[in-house]
Structure formats: structure tokens, C-alpha cells
Amino acid sequence: MTQHLILSPAVAAAKAAGRPLVALESTIVTHGMPYPANLETALAVEAAVRDSGAEPATVAVIDGVVRIGLAADELAALAEAREVMKLSRADLAFAVASGRTGSTTVAATMIAARAAGLSVFATGGIGGVHRGGETSLDVSADLEELARTDVIVVSAGAKAILDIGRTLEYLETKGVPVVVYGSDELPAFWSRESGHAAPLRLDAAAEIARFHKTRAALGIAGGMLVANPLDAAHAIPRETVEGWIEQALGEATAKGVAGKAVTPFLLGRIVTLSEGRSLEANIALIKANARLAGEIAVALGRD
């Protein structure tokens, strides 16, 4: 893959100097938020990584090249671009082969990060088993990627629009460790509570780094999910969120929204239904995840 991959000057310099790096996905820029909140958030997330002592590396495919790290003007262009592909494992190579531009989901970002030698990645929320997935078989490729690719993924758990219980069961079956940071309950994206106990709990970045290194020393392949609960000041009660989700799901069904269009549609409708509260929470959680990811990356480089 290296012949199709370019590191930005900042990322290349950090890597050469042995400084910690954190990968960031670009789907939040192209499909996760409206403009200009998407660009403002992307820049704030990169700043949060730098504040923690690491170098951010936003991942995207630009004109058929996998880019690890984007300059501010490149991020701005991506934030305003139209007809941008949303890339996962299945179509990452297609975008490269056909010279297309695309943003990377959790799965695609993990692939690119690993190819570039990055071990830590921050995102908002992972994909998972969709509601009704037991019959539709609509399951995100993010889960399989977590099972196979050696990257620590820091998120606020799975997106709340998903079936969190079945997502957790799927990860358990695949042997993916789910570590909740500083809490005994798995978070549910915008909410601190999900109704599911934390499979594992760790309270410091150094402990997470040690766990990752121990897995590698034991020859255990695959990634790790670190679920970082949103702070109480920005969190939204689970019952409130569920009401918005049920209404948005009903509208999606009525309009025939399907496939990759479902998640952006639901998130967009929930922004409207919540009068912006979900967007504010989303921005807060991705910045918090970026900070924690940076701390983990720094801790990994200490030993």
C-alpha cells in the first residue's frame, strides 16, 4: 500500500523524530456535520491532539492518493467538497485505483493508519450492528476491522442510533477488548449511560498503553476499542436521545433511506430534532476523544 500513501510534511517529520502520532478520520468532515461546523471541528480536534503532546494525522483519499495528514487548506477544501465518497474496506482500493476523492470511515482509517505505522486513532463513535440488524444483517465493517487490525480506537462507544447490545456481543465474539475509560458503564455516544456494563475498565492512558503492548507481546492480533464517556456537562440523557432516534428512524423508513445514506440521514435529522444539542455534544466528545488518544500515544512512546 505504501506506493499509494503519502505522509504530510508535518506527519513525516514527527514520524522521523519518533514523536507520537494520532490518526483522525475524515468522514466527520464530509458526512458527519454541516459546513462550517465540520471544518471548525476538524481543526479543533487536531488542536486537541497537539495539546496532548502528539501530532494529528487526518486521513483521506485525495485524487486517488491515501493522504496521512492534511494541511489546513486541504481540510477546508474537503469540508466544502461535494460528491465525496464515503470509504470503508470494500471501496478504499476502488477510490485509489480510479483516482477518486473520499473520506475514510473507522475501518478505512484503521487500514491506512496501520499501513503508515500509526497505533492510535480517535473518532466520534464507531459503526456497529444497526437496529434490526439481526434480520437485515446490516453490520458495519468497522467491527471486523477492529478484530483484525492492530490499532487502538478511541471513541465515545458505538453511535447511539445503533443496536449497542448486539454491537457489544459482536465485538466479544470477535475477541475485541472493549475498555471503558474511567467508568463502569459503557457510554452510548451522546449519553454517558447505555444500560450495559463496561467489559473492562481502565483509568489512565498509561494503563491503556500497557494493555496494548502486552497484547502485542503475547502475539494477540487485532485492535482495541477504548470507550470514553462524554463529560456530564455536554451529555444528553439516554431517554431523550431515544425519542429523537425513534422519530428519525421512522422518517428514514418512510423515505426509503438505505445503505451508507442511513447514518448521515439519521445524524442530520437528530441535529434538527435536538435543536443543535446533539451537534454540540458531538463536537465535545470528538475533542475529548482526541485528547485521550493523544495521551495514549504519548504513553505508548514512553517505554
Catalytic residue among 15, 46, 55, 159: 159
Cβ proximity of 169 and 219 under 8 Å: no
Residue 3: the pLDDT is: 83
Peptide bond into 34 cis (omega under 30): no
- Residues 104, 109, 112, 113, CA torsion sign: positive
What is the full DSSP assignment across the chain? Answer: -GGGEEE-HHHHHHHHTT--EEEE-SHIIIIIS-TTHHHHHHHHHHHHHHHTT-EEEEEEEETTEEEES--HHHHHHHHH-SS-EEE-TTTHHHHHHTT--EEE-HHHHHHHHHHTT--EEE-S-B--BBTTHHHH--B-HHHHHHHHS--EEEESSB-TTB-HHHHHHHHHHTT--EEEES-SB--BTTBS--SSB-SEEE-SHHHHHHHHHHHHHTT--S-EEEE-PPPTTT---HHHHHHHHHHHHHHHHHHT--GGGHHHHHHHHHHHHTTTHHHHHHHHHHHHHHHHHHHHHHHHTT-
Residue 144: the pLDDT is: 98
Is the pLDDT at 178 greater than 90? The verdict is yes
Residue 133: the pLDDT is: 87
pLDDT in tens, 221-232: 999 999 999 999
Cell 465525496 maps to which residue? 84
Residue range 283-299: mean pLDDT, rounded: 98
Residue range 173-187: mean pLDDT, rounded: 98
Closest CA to 264 of 24, 28, 2: 28
Q: How confident is the model at residue 267 (pLDDT cuts 50, 70, 90)?
A: confident
Is the pLDDT at 235 greater than 70? The verdict is yes
Q: Is 242 a catalytic residue?
A: no
Of 29-38, 152-161, 204-213, 218-227, the range with the lowest mean pLDDT is 29-38
Q: How confident is the model at residue 208 (pLDDT cuts 50, 70, 90)?
A: very high
Q: How confident is the model at residue 303 (pLDDT cuts 50, 70, 90)?
A: low
Q: Which residues contact 231 (CB under 8 A, 6 or more apart)?
A: 284, 288
Residue range 48-58: mean pLDDT, rounded: 98
Do strands 55-62 and 21-24 pair parallel, antiparallel, or not at all (unpaired)? parallel
Is the pLDDT at 1 greater than 70? The verdict is no
Please provide the distance, in angstroms rounded to a whole number, between the alpha carbons at the two ends of the chain. Answer: 29
Q: Is 295 a catalytic residue?
A: no
pLDDT in tens, 82-138: 889 999 999 999 999 999 999 999 999 999 999 999 999 999 999 999 988 888 888
pLDDT in tens, 54-92: 999 999 999 999 999 999 999 999 999 988 999 999 999
Return the CATH number of the domain spanning residue range 2-300. 3.40.1790.10
- The average confidence (pLDDT) of the chain is 95
Is the pLDDT at 50 greater than 70? The verdict is yes
Residue 127: the pLDDT is: 93
CA dist 78 and 175 (Å) reads 35
* Region class of 256: left (phi > 0), else alpha (psi between -120 and 50), else beta: left
CA dist 165 and 274 (Å) reads 24
Of 28-32, 177-181, 215-219, the range with the lowest mean pLDDT is 28-32
Cβ atoms < 10 Å from Cβ of 42: 26
Q: Grid coordinates representing 69?
A: 495528514
Compute the chain's Rg from CA coordinates.
Answer: 18
- Domain positions in the chain: 2-300
pTM of the model: 0.95
pLDDT in tens, 272-284: 999 999 999 999 9
Residue 82: the pLDDT is: 87
Residue range 21-37: mean pLDDT, rounded: 91
Q: What percentage of the chain reaches a pLDDT higher than 70? A: 99
